[in-house]
Amino acid sequence: MSSGQRLALVAVVLVALAAGSALPGISASDGGAINRRGTYEGGRYLIEVPAGWNGGLVLFAHGYDGGTFVSPLTSYLQDRGYALAASSYRTEDYRPDLFVDDMRALLELFIREVRRPRWTVIHGQSVGGHVAIVSLELHPGLYQGALIECGVIDGIGNVDFYLAAQAAAEYLGGINLFEAPDRETLIRRVNREWLPRMGAPPAYTERGRRFDSILKYLMGGDLPLRLQGLLPRHYFRYVAGTRAPEFREVLRHASTLQIRYRIDPGLGVAEDELNAKVRRIAPAEGARSQSANPALAELTGRITVPVLAIHETGDARVPWSNQQAYRRRTVAAGTVHLLVQRAVRWPSHCGFDGEMREQAFDDLVAWMEKGIKPDGDDILAPDVSTLGLRWTLLRHPEDPVQRREPSRK
């Protein structure tokens, strides 16, 4: 090549750089960092690969918040050489059946744009937990592990819980909560008739104490800080439900036919009579079908890779009973050895301390890479009062157990 040709080539490259045109990107295998944002069939996406990528990839499935790329593990992953990919999902409706496909398409995009990872973990938060667990059941082998926090790990069972609570509120309050002509009428009924009869936590009437007893069992038992987490907005949602259009599809699949209500003795309501007389909600015709839409049918518990779940005991938005129900499914499926669950004693939804989440991620990776199964809680033990003592690094002021356990680190 002549000197003139070399100068011409340099000029072309400089012009391309100045214009920002597409020159061959530096791939992670070359040691360079990648930071990309764009759109794809699953909505908006983010891909971040650190320099010196170690080959591990985390796909973040966010909660029901309108779409975000903000993974709570972003900095932690980057500092330790892991790649991150996240999706906004294609819609803001509650459609985990669609979100499962959005995450799978995101993984395929990452493989095309970067390369195939050494392993992939799906990290599901809140509704993203529904997405993560369904992804594992429907697509075995696609992911090598899952971290689920404050997650809807029992899938459609969480929607069943809300309808079951509303039906109990209707029965005990003696006020029709399902057949109001419009949302405004229902809200008036709740505020003017139901709440004066029942009260609200912690100022229950006698009838209200009956409702709280039923709620207690629906949520998983006499859990630490359950009442502290029962904020007015959650309590109102239990009573009034929702008719928001974004929930229309998932509500078609909900059912209370299988719910067995429990109530403490001595409150003036017989358990058998309650179960016989309370309103029952059946799914729409053709809904809740494993063949038609398995993501919105009852889960099977058939997982094939390690799952580590962390969940607050006082979570009133996605109650602890999600964890208990899914554990029973894995027991029945013979896969319980692949599920580790940890409780955090706190009255919130997704309010974890960073150290707790990071420790869970590290323990999951060690389980996947080295076969070291981490410890968890015995979440089906009859006594739930000691749940999470090992994992809760900071005690809530109203926690009945205040003694701090030594950190594992």
| CATH level 2 (architecture), domain 28-153+300-370 | 3-Layer(aba) Sandwich (3.40)
pTM of the model: 0.90
C-alpha 394/C-alpha 51 separation (Å) is 35
Identify which of 32, 7, 193, 189 has the alpha carbon closest to the alpha carbon of residue 114.
Answer: 32
Contacts of 71 (CB under 8 A, 6+ apart): 58, 60, 62, 77, 84, 86, 123
Identify which of 145, 70, 65, 61 has the alpha carbon closest to the alpha carbon of residue 101.
Answer: 61
CB 347 within 8 A of CB 320: no
Strand partners, 146: 122, 307
Task: Transcribe 134-201 into DSSP letters.
Answer: HHHHHSBTTBSEEEEES--TTTHHHHHHHHHHHHHHHHHHTS--S--SSHHHHHHHIIIIIHHHHEET
Pure H helices in 57-123: 74-79, 96-113
50-98 pLDDT per residue, tens: 999 999 999 999 998 655 678 999 999 999 999 999 999 999 999 999 9
Nearest-10 crossing angle of helices 321-333, 156-173: 130
CB 83 within 8 A of CB 51: no
C-alpha 339/C-alpha 331 separation (Å) is 10
Residues 303-322: b if buried by 16+ CB within 10 A, e if exposed: bebbbbbbbbbbbbbbbbbb
Residues of the chain with CATH 3.40.50.1820: 28-153+300-370
Residues 180-196: b if buried by 16+ CB within 10 A, e if exposed: beeeeebeebbeeebbe
Residue 367's CB: how many other CB atoms inside 10 A? 19
86-96 pLDDT per residue, tens: 999 999 999 99
Tokens standing for 170? 């209707």
C-alpha 379/C-alpha 386 separation (Å) is 10
Each of the 409 residues of the chain gets a pLDDT tens digit; together they read 444 444 343 333 333 333 333 323 334 455 689 999 999 999 999 999 999 999 999 999 999 865 567 899 999 999 999 999 999 999 999 999 999 999 999 999 999 999 999 999 999 999 999 999 999 999 999 999 999 999 999 999 999 999 999 999 999 999 999 999 999 999 999 999 999 999 999 999 999 999 999 999 999 999 999 999 999 999 999 999 988 889 999 999 999 999 999 999 999 999 999 999 999 999 999 999 999 999 999 999 999 999 999 999 999 999 999 999 999 999 999 999 999 999 999 999 999 889 999 999 999 999 999 999 999 999 999 999 999 999 998 899 999 987 544 444 4
Q: DSSP character for 33?
A: -
Residue 22: the pLDDT is 34
